[in-house]
Amino acid sequence: MRQPGTQDVPGRASGTGDRPISTRRATSGRVVGIDVGGSGIKGAPVDLSVGRFATDRVRLPTPRPATPDRVADVVAEVLDHLDVAGPVGVTLPAVVADGVVETAANIDPSWLGVHAVELFGRATGRPVGVLNDADAAGIAEMRYGAGKGRGGVVVVVTLGTGIGTAVFSDGVLVPNTELGHLPLHHGDAEDWVAESVREREDLSWKHYAHRLQHYLELVQRLLWPRLIVIGGGVSRKAEKFLPHIELRTEVVPARLHNDAGIVGAALFAPLSLGRPAAVPAP
């Protein structure tokens, strides 16, 4: 199967400023991935031969307000702590098309229109790839986790502060699908089914599963996937809500849980000028 995150992705340029940098993706060795979330910015060197952290993860609090320059500074700080050279992949909870941030549902509005690849490239001095957080989690699950070896249409749904989605057709990612914003019950699905809503409204697992059932039925009706993978931190508690879900489509919990974002980010780090992205961890 052609693995997402490993092939040339011509439309999604990576690099620092004007310097021409190959858009081939990392395939082996240890590469740093950084996951930018609402409360924490987390990074680790990832051993891409197995999809696991090579050393402990570093987490710094997300600055408030989480404006582009301040987030870029913290990303550079995470890299200083990790002390592993080479290219880096970074996730953002937003649509990232051709390196540019196009939406800001769960991120500071000042990100709109920012060229994130250039921003992080300047801040870190490294070749950088930037992608949507759910797409990152998705490519990690497809390569190492619950979607490994699965063909046809697979949808990875991450339940967290918002709802993120990654859609694959025979292992190839359709980026930036944003199915968390599908209209549901006269509103935005994310505002009804996100894990943060379950916590805020103190919903029972059964009640939450009922909402998730409605959402997954909608996804099923639109895409008819062969498999739905439920990711995000809540996937660790899948036994509390998945038994209440009844769907024609197979629904399974993610395997990489919250690590998927960092692992997928590392997969998306560009190979610099065709040289191997891999650099040994200290």
Q: Does 36 bind ligand BGC (CB under 6 A)?
A: no
In the bound state with ligand BGC, the residue whose beta carbon lies nearer, of 78 and 107, is 107
Query: Per the structure block, which two tokens stand in for 195?
Result: 């894990």
Among 47, 190, 195, 259, binds ligand BGC (CB under 6 A): 190
Q: Please, what is the minimum distance in Å from the beta carbon of residue 262 to ligand BGC?
A: 14
Burial class of residue 32 (count of CB atoms within 10 Å of its CB; 0-12, 13-18, 19+): buried
Which among 57-65, 72-80, 100-108, 116-124 is the span making contact with ligand BGC, rule CB under 6 A? 100-108
In this structure, are residues 172 and 192 in contact, taking their beta carbons and an 8 Å threshold?
A: no
Per-residue binding string, ligand BGC, 139-178, x by CB under 6 A, is -------------------x-x-x-x-------------x
d(CA 36, CA 61) in angstroms, rounded, equals 10
Q: Does 54 bind ligand BGC (CB under 6 A)?
A: no
Name the E strands within the chain.
Answer: 30-36, 40-47, 52-53, 58-61, 88-92, 96-97, 100-101, 128-132, 153-159, 163-169, 172-174, 183-184, 187-188, 227-231, 250-253
Among 6, 14, 16, 106, binds ligand BGC (CB under 6 A): 106
In the bound state with ligand BGC, the residue whose beta carbon lies nearer, of 46 and 94, is 94
CA 263 to chain centre: 9
Q: Does 103 bind ligand BGC (CB under 6 A)?
A: yes
Q: Is 189 left (phi over 0), alpha (psi -120 to 50) or beta?
A: alpha
Binding site for ligand BGC (CB under 6 A): 93-95, 103, 105-106, 132-134, 158, 160, 162, 164, 178, 180, 190
